Chain A
Amino acid sequence: MVRLMDSSEIKQLQILAAKSRMGAILGTYHAKSGHPGGSLSAADIFTYLYFKEMHVDPQNPAWEDRDRFVLSKGHCCPSLYATLALKGFFDWNELTVLRHVGAMLQGHPDMKGTPGIDMSTGSLGQGVSAACGMALAAKLDNKDYRVYTLLGDGEVEEGQVWEAAMFAAHRKLDNLVVMVDQNGLQIDGAVEEVAGIEPLDKKFEAFGFEVFKIDGHDFEQIKEALDKAKTVKGKPTAILCKTVKGKGVSFMENQVGWHGTAPNKEQYEQATAELQAEIERLEAAC
């Protein structure tokens, strides 16, 4: 296989992703609530988008020509917040008061209060429509910024996702990339047992999307799909990212119970120790 990225570049991203996961654990621990499972599954995607893919300026979050990101699965904001803090949009310590009264970081993303958040989301199915509106605005203004949105695999059960999918294809929004974090679990259990969504690739294809299926924890695959998406003309792209819910923390991986449960002190310490060890291992290898 042709290497798309050199190994030190990949390790740097892996370190940033591990730190993003640390932030999600830190935030949900201090909040005594929140959604660690899906935050951990999406951390590599956030990391690649903000550190490699998107043109953004932490000093000027409202920059008109920036690329946009809409976290349609808004509940997974803890690791997005951590990634934004790592990128320099705001102070890391904000994570220690996540979800507290008066805090900047709300339980679900708030575009009015948080620098770097491009859309208020949290009610599932809605973010993808807003992303379509942003992509349409870029077309109308002949601007070349791109719009990215991340959905959960449970979220695609919402009818609005498919209204938006039809709209995106009909309007030929080739500046829109819809990513799906396919960690396979939703609150009530396995997605395929709750309300099966497969074959998701064929569904998006039938709705007029160019579809890529990748491992959502493999930075080279993320890069390859996002690079290819830029060459797709006349239709939107969907990237189905196979992921592990709770990725990076041994006792959270593939456990549905960690969808919306915060770690207690002991669990927080263990999770942090695991992620810290991973960061040290990666740093030593760099």
Chain B
Amino acid sequence: MAETVLKATRESFGEALCELAETNKDIVVFDADLAAATKTGVFKKAFPDRFFDCGIAEGNMIGVAAGMAASGKIPVAASFAMFATGRAFEQIRNSVAYPELNVKIAGSHAGISTGEDGATHQCIEDIGILRAIPNMMVLNPADHWEMKAATKAALEYNGPVYIRLGRLAIPSFNDPATYEFELGKGITLHEGSDVAVIATGLVVNEALKAVKELEAEGIHARLINIHTIKPIDRDIVVKAAKETGRIITVEEHNVIGGLADAVSEVVTEECPVKITRIGVQDRFGYSGPAWELLDKFGLTQPHIAKVIREVVGK
């Protein structure tokens, strides 16, 4: 196992963009006055001629990116998840997704781990908003290595993709020597048949620590990492439902519209089992340090472990 890397996925994303742009000259990057925060700033430094700051005008940024894609470029448009997917929802829907243009949208500072900025900047709806749009692929990588691989895959894929980026530095848990990323394929991180924990993004590592902790108590929880929320890996979800009979979803997103719903849609169609939803319980966040907020919202290891115990009845 390689050394743990403590890094925010926005940093990993910025690094990946620069590496990929070395060989792929069609990659162009747009930002809306947040380049330092979304980490497209590192791309700006390395490739100033292919970086375009659009100013605080997200709707126009997405439209310009669509026009660039229609002219053969591979545009990446970044902002905070709140503005990239909220303010510019309709530009994404009508100018990008409907014509199926090759635009990548990066939403940084997603979830309540945005922290001190508070509710206006803590986007807990982005996955739900974009998942509802036809033609959109939705990615939510969980650590440094996964973000780098996901960014590469997204840029190699021809079509609209949303990538969710986090602000908070988090430890890596994947081993780059063995890690394999495939769009649309979930990854089983821990085997078990008492319950299936299906997690996405920043909280996957918390869930991983929780299921490992519970092994000592004789609870064998399966943990599945869903980095591609749309299209979701139906097979891995159905298999988990059939083999464990109960599912817990874990996400740093409203429990409406995100992973919980994506999993429910598959399970209710193919193998109905009870689903317990860990996430933001349809409420707004508030200001505070990220880890304190994650703890308050029940998204850290002890809370996840507690729910797993309750679900398996131990």
1/0 per residue B49-92: CB within 8 Å of A?
A: 11010110101111111111111110100000000000000110
- Chain B residues with CB under 8 Å of A121's CB are 94
1/0 per residue A162-205: CB within 8 Å of B?
A: 01101100110000000000000000000000000000000000
| Known contacts A120-B95, A126-B95, A132-B60, A137 near B67 by CB under 8 Å | yes
Main secondary structure of the interface of A (DSSP, over half): helix
> Distance in Å from the Cβ of A240 to the closest Cβ of chain B?
21
Cα separation A91 to B49 with both chains bound (whole Å): 42
Cα separation A68 to B68 with both chains bound (whole Å): 12
- Chain B residues with CB under 8 Å of A138's CB are 71
> Distance in Å from the Cβ of B166 to the closest Cβ of chain A?
28
When the two chains form their complex, are residues A129 and B60 in contact, meaning their CB atoms are under 8 A apart?
A: yes
Cα separation A111 to B59 with both chains bound (whole Å): 20
Cα separation A112 to B102 with both chains bound (whole Å): 13
Cα separation A121 to B93 with both chains bound (whole Å): 11
When the two chains form their complex, are residues B100 and A130 in contact, meaning their CB atoms are under 8 A apart?
A: no
How many of chain A's residues have a CB under 8 angstroms from any CB in B?
36
Residue of B49, B60, B67, B98 touching A160 (CB-CB under 8 A): B60
For residue B28, CB closer than 8 A to chain A, the reply is yes
Residue of B52, B57, B69 touching A171 (CB-CB under 8 A): B52
> Distance in Å from the Cβ of B209 to the closest Cβ of chain A?
44
For residue B99, CB closer than 8 A to chain A, the reply is yes
When the two chains form their complex, are residues B99 and A112 in contact, meaning their CB atoms are under 8 A apart?
A: yes
When the two chains form their complex, are residues A133 and B55 in contact, meaning their CB atoms are under 8 A apart?
A: no
When the two chains form their complex, are residues B67 and A134 in contact, meaning their CB atoms are under 8 A apart?
A: yes
- Chain A residues with CB under 8 Å of B94's CB are 120-123, 126
Please report which residues of chain A, range 137-160, place their CB below 8 angstroms from some CB of chain B when the two chains form the complex: 137-138, 140-141, 159-160
When the two chains form their complex, are residues B71 and A129 in contact, meaning their CB atoms are under 8 A apart?
A: no
Main secondary structure of the interface of B (DSSP, over half): helix
For residue A118, CB closer than 8 A to chain B, the reply is yes
When the two chains form their complex, are residues B67 and A132 in contact, meaning their CB atoms are under 8 A apart?
A: yes
Residue of A nearest to B32 (CB): A163
How many of chain B's residues have a CB under 8 angstroms from any CB in A?
30
When the two chains form their complex, are residues B99 and A120 in contact, meaning their CB atoms are under 8 A apart?
A: yes
Cα separation A126 to B65 with both chains bound (whole Å): 11
> Distance in Å from the Cβ of A68 to the closest Cβ of chain B?
8
| Known contacts A110-B99, A119-B99, A130-B95, A136 near B52 by CB under 8 Å | yes
For residue A280, CB closer than 8 A to chain B, the reply is no
- Chain B residues with CB under 8 Å of A164's CB are 60, 63-64
- Chain B residues with CB under 8 Å of A70's CB are 67
When the two chains form their complex, are residues B90 and A133 in contact, meaning their CB atoms are under 8 A apart?
A: no
Cα separation A70 to B75 with both chains bound (whole Å): 19
- Chain A residues with CB under 8 Å of B99's CB are 110-112, 119-120
Cα separation A138 to B28 with both chains bound (whole Å): 13
When the two chains form their complex, are residues B67 and A119 in contact, meaning their CB atoms are under 8 A apart?
A: yes
When the two chains form their complex, are residues B60 and A167 in contact, meaning their CB atoms are under 8 A apart?
A: yes
When the two chains form their complex, are residues A133 and B65 in contact, meaning their CB atoms are under 8 A apart?
A: yes
When the two chains form their complex, are residues A129 and B64 in contact, meaning their CB atoms are under 8 A apart?
A: yes
Cα separation A123 to B73 with both chains bound (whole Å): 23
Residue of B49, B50, B62, B73 touching A129 (CB-CB under 8 A): B62
> Distance in Å from the Cβ of B51 to the closest Cβ of chain A?
11
When the two chains form their complex, are residues B63 and A126 in contact, meaning their CB atoms are under 8 A apart?
A: yes
For residue A9, CB closer than 8 A to chain B, the reply is no
For residue A131, CB closer than 8 A to chain B, the reply is yes
Residue of B71, B90, B100 touching A123 (CB-CB under 8 A): B90
| Known contacts A130-B95, A160-B60, A140 near B50 by CB under 8 Å | yes
1/0 per residue A101-123: CB within 8 Å of B?
A: 00000000011100000111111
B contact set with A: CB distance below 8 Å:
28, 49-50, 52, 54-55, 57, 59-73, 75, 90-91, 94-95, 98-100
A-B contacts, 18 of them at CB < 8 A, read: A68-B71, A111-B70, A112-B99, A119-B70, A120-B95, A126-B59, A126-B63, A126-B91, A127-B63, A129-B67, A130-B64, A135-B67, A136-B52, A136-B67, A137-B68, A137-B73, A163-B55, A170-B55
**What 5 A-B pairs have minimum CB-CB distances, sorted nearest first?**
A133-B67, A129-B63, A137-B71, A163-B60, A130-B67
